[in-house]
Amino acid sequence: MPLYKDNHIKIYNSLSGEKETFKPINEGYVGMYVCGPTVYSNVHLGNVRTFMSFDVIFRYLKHLGYKVRFVRNITDAGHLENDADVGEDRIAKRARLEEIEPMEVVQRYTVDFHNVLNKFNFLPPSIEPTATGHIIEQIEIIKVILEKGLAYEVNGSVYFDVIKYNETKPYGILSKRNLEDLMHNSRDLDGQSDKKNPQDFALWKKAEPLHIMRWPSPWSDGFPGWHLECTAMSTKYLGEQFDIHGGGMDLKFPHHECEIAQAEACNDKAPVNYWMHANMLIMNGKKMAKSTGNFILPTEIFSGDNPHLTKAFSPSVARFFMLQAHYRSILDFTNNGLLASEKGFLRLMDAINALDELTPSSTSTFKIEEWQQKCYDAMNDDFNTPILIANLFEAVKFINQIKEGTATITQDHLTLLKKTVHTFAFDVLGLVNVTESESNIEKLSGAVELLIQLRQEARANKDFATSDKIRDELAIAGIQLNDGKEGTTFTTN
């Protein structure tokens, strides 16, 4: 019998503002959509935190035996700079500044996105569709909304009529915003916009003559609105109604609000049963911002090459740090927090590694079944990873007591303990068993690779004295450099 039969998950639904018992539309199956990145720059840590939250949710649902179709999109067109239907497409702008094709920008930063997530041991989604791969589907949705009189075309652009929609369905239902208040707080249109009302949003934008990314449509050569792509891709792969839609808190309005309006207008039904939002990531108590220097890239965590860090940290330590906060809580990213998490992480891994060395007894002094249920209870309560981690450390304490001879465990309980710890630490939380010695080897490898690069630069500059010094000093330290056709490798003595 699948585990989901006995584990009833409570999910905080942003739509109702309450925890609700999760009941999928089709028993045993879960459809989940998460808004992915706009690939115009390196993925930032706030993105990673959001995607990590849903990676754990995906993992846990799979562990319970659900067949999960997890869709996470790639936004590779249509996302304007200020999210307000004006300005330049973010990808096209980067392409113009770097004098390359937009799809070169997309490829570069999609690869970066995947590389970073792989470092953090993310599971890949079931489907990863792109906005540019679904232009036809977006055009078809626009046609339906126009036919229903809930959109209008002006000068080759198509806009969603929020006020008309609000006559029969509430706009602002997710973000709890009243349309009258939105109208009151909006600035008057300056006469340069084609919109009837400031609250209306673009379904299709006519491309200006110099706009690089454009596609033919019944209205103009142009590009789809940012909000439309998620409606098109989620309904195509998950149906007109599906179970879970996730994303960062910053997407609740206007992005997710517009998604709801589009889907309701097109299909006359609410698209999603459970809306989930991960909270923001701050750094040293302040908002992350490149302009102030209060900023860090994920790769800088692994290298330690950032003024806010005193050392490098492994991806699993960083992952462990983030999961010590609930996904709906604000997380403050600090060097001291990472240092404390590293100690805790290594303590957890040491205890897990010690499981194979424990000697079973005829009795157990630990109520293993009760402890196991507490682990499930934590995850069933809106995926509460901090409580789950606290329960894992309760097991760490018991494992250490067995090693010290102050506690005992039977063979059956030892088997169950090992299985449960491995399940939650590795399968659900997605941690990787990196011991301190392995972590040090990883750091050593990075340092040697840097020295190899410096040696290559010295040789290229005909600075053979420096080149030889690097080789000789490494040899004294027991590290042998091997030059070959494929480059330089190293071995340790």
pLDDT number for residue 81:
65
pLDDT number for residue 493:
55
Q: What percent of the chain has pLDDT over 90?
A: 74
Using pLDDT thresholds of 50, 70 and 90, give the confidence band for residue 84. Answer: low
pLDDT number for residue 25:
98
Which carries the bigger pLDDT value, residue 464 or residue 105?
A: 105
Rounded mean pLDDT of the chain? 91
373 pLDDT exceeds 60? yes
Using pLDDT thresholds of 50, 70 and 90, give the confidence band for residue 44. Answer: confident
Q: Which of 90-94, 154-158, 229-233, 444-448 has the lowest mean pLDDT?
A: 444-448
191 pLDDT exceeds 50? no
pLDDT number for residue 221:
96
pLDDT number for residue 486:
59
pLDDT number for residue 427:
98
Instruction: Express each pLDDT in 300-312 by its tens digit.
Output: 999 999 999 999 9
349-358: average pLDDT: 96
3-state per-residue secondary structure call for the chain = CCHHHCCCCEEEECCCCEEEECCCCCCCEEEEEECCCECCCCCCHHHHHHHHHHHHHHHHHHHCCCEEEEEECEECCCCECCCCCCCCEHHHHHHHHHCCCHHHHHHHHHHHHHHHHHHCCCCCCCECCECHHHHHHHHHHHHHHHHCCCEEEECCEEEECHHHHHCCCCCCCCCCCCHHHHHHHCCCCCCCCCCCCCCCEEEEEECCCCCCCCECCCCCCEEECHHHHHHHHHHHHHCCCEEEEEEEHHHHHHHHHHHHHHHHHHHCCCCEEEEEEECCEEECCEECEHHHCECCCHHHHHHCCCCCCCCCCCHHHHHHHHHCCCCCCCEEECHHHHHHHHHHHHHHHHHHHHHHHCCCCCCCCCCHHHHHHHHHHHHHECCCHHHHHHHHHHHHHHHHHHHHCCCCCCHHHHHHHHHHHHHHHHHHCCCCCCCHHHHHHHHHHHHHHHHHHHHHHHHHCCCHHHHHHHHHHHHHCCEEEEEECCEEEEEEC
Instruction: Express each pLDDT in 442-461 by its tens digit.
Output: 556 667 777 888 888 878 88
Using pLDDT thresholds of 50, 70 and 90, give the confidence band for residue 265. Answer: very high
134 pLDDT exceeds 60? yes
